[in-house]
Amino acid sequence: MRVLSGIQPTGRFHWGNYFGAIRQYIDLQDEEASLYFLANLHALTTIRDRDLLRELTLDAAIDLIALGLDPDRAVLFAQSDVPEVSELCWLLMTITPMGLLERCVSYKDKKDRGVSADTGLFTYPVLMSADIILYDSDIVPVGGDQVQHIEVCRDIAGKFNHLFGETFVLPKAKVLDDSAKVPGTDGEKMSKSYNNTIELFEPTKSMRKKIMRIQTDSRPMEEPKEPEGDHLYQLYYLFATPAEREEMAALYRRGGFGYGEVKKALADVADRFLEEPRAKREELAAHPKKISEILGDGAAQARSKAQEVLKRAQENCGIKGW
């Protein structure tokens, strides 16, 4: 089974990125083939600063490796280092109906939020489709909000196959665990767009300040509280051991505690959880050339497969092979 997923380097990774996706990517890296790419071509729809995009792309690679992605077990590369994806994207755009893209929920949502409706944003699902089928991917781990894009990918690849003969593998979505939806500092889903995130590698002092500012309800201290559904407890649960979770849940149900006590406990378990990745990240960041080499090696492996699939598509649609 071949697994592929990409993540945009549009900002530093936060708790929601890790528990909602990255942790599960790492769990899948022992499949027959696992490819993970930094979607810097996609990031161009929102980042227009050259130096910032380069910095965020390198930082994303460092973060992923520090968190447990092993380049010896999975292929890690930058999207832009595989130029075959851009050519395949054009081949797919020639047979993609406008109406299919106009129905994409993420495009409409971004327009509603005031994001500039440029061509890159509109054709984002086509490039995403090229990303996926370029490697004969079987499984694509995605959040629930991205499932439609996998369906679009299957529609586009299926149409190409119908027009030009069997060319592409039709991928399946692996929907990431909904229970991993991580609340932000305001209780809503943690997201950069909501400005409610806590970064994974945020300095300890800054992290603790954000935790202490997490919004809570106004119930009196002595009142027993049900931990399920409480966003502060949900965050604690992500980092704590099973025994610590049970102890905290019992404290909630007894009552007679303050949320400040829970916030301090959350900061302590988060600090402990991230201690090893922080140390590893510091070591990796001191050797950026090594990270560039890892990305270069990953791109070489990815291109080997990409060239094979692109050649198949080129010959089947008639632009090569005479």
Residues belonging to the active site: 110, 189, 192
Q: Confirm if 126 and 101 have CB atoms less than 8 A apart.
A: yes
Q: Confirm if 182 and 19 have CB atoms less than 8 A apart.
A: yes
